[in-house]
A and B are shown apart, each in its own frame.
Chain A
Amino acid sequence: DAGVTQSPTHLIKTRGQHVTLRCSPISGHKSVSWYQQVLGQGPQFIFQYYEKEERGRGNFPDRFSARQFPNYSSELNVNALLLGDSALYLCASSLAGTRNIQYFGAGTRLSVL
């Protein structure tokens, strides 16, 4: 069975640009969460979506947005990129929003120059 898949695996952008990251959850999972992992630190929660609705938001600026599609895949968008946005962006899926058991993809490595 396919796990959580994320694309692209690596991305290089320049300051001020916009980026879109994509995530496909495990088949049957309806909840998707996004995390940012800066090198040497634990992942930090950005968003959670369940049944296409935003159910949780972390302490990130409005430059970060996300959405979930009818097939439960998700996109994370980041506008006006800053150098500090360079990180590994992780997507996690879970069977239902409140069960909390989250399975992570391999992530997208974003470098902002």
Chain B
Amino acid sequence: GENVEQHPSTLSVQEGDSAVIKCTYSDSASNYFPWYKQELGKGPQLIIDIRSNVGEKKDQRIAVTLNKTAKHFSLHITETQPEDSAVYFCAASRAGGTSYGKLTFGQGTILTVHP
């Protein structure tokens, strides 16, 4: 089955700096790659996603890049703010077959933005 590796496990940055989180996946049939932000006591919140027919997607301070050949994708946060502090999860999925709707998550990255 699919396996998703996420790095780093913790990331500490100063306010205003950029943060990058990287994930690799094993199943070449995966075609959907969302990123979730989880704050303490809350469920994961979708912040951005990308499909395999696109190489990059941007939404204000957040961007995601996908390299299908290397089977890795990355989350980029620019001009970080203290409210960006949370746990971030990458995930991978493919439609159809026995993986119908299943998201496989990475282990998570604890991002801390210092004021």
Give residues in A with beta carbon < 8 Å to B: 4, 31, 33, 35, 40-45, 48, 50, 55-56, 58, 90, 92, 94, 97-107
Contact = CB atoms under 8 A, between A and B. Distances in A.
A102 B95 contact: no
Nearest to B90: A42
Contact of A100 (B43, B101, B105): B101
Given A31-B101, A50-B101, A106 B93 contact: no
Interface size class of B (residues with CB under 8 A): 20 to 34
A96 B58 CA distance: 25
A54 B33 CA distance: 23
A56 B99 contact: yes
A105 B43 contact: yes
Nearest to B92: A100
Contact of B103 (A41, A102, A107): A102
Interface of B: 4, 6, 32, 34, 36, 41-46, 49, 89, 91, 93, 95-96, 98-108
A108 B104 CA distance: 20
Residue among B32, B36, B43 with the highest chain A CB neighbour number at 10 A = B43
B103 A45 contact: yes
Nearest to A46: B102
Nearest to B93: A100
A42 B99 contact: no
Contacts of A100: 32, 34, 93, 95, 101, 103
The 9 closest A-B pairs by CB, nearest first: A42-B105, A104-B43, A98-B95, A55-B100, A56-B100, A48-B101, A100-B32, A45-B102, A106-B43
Contacts of A98: 95-96, 100-101
A56 B98 contact: yes
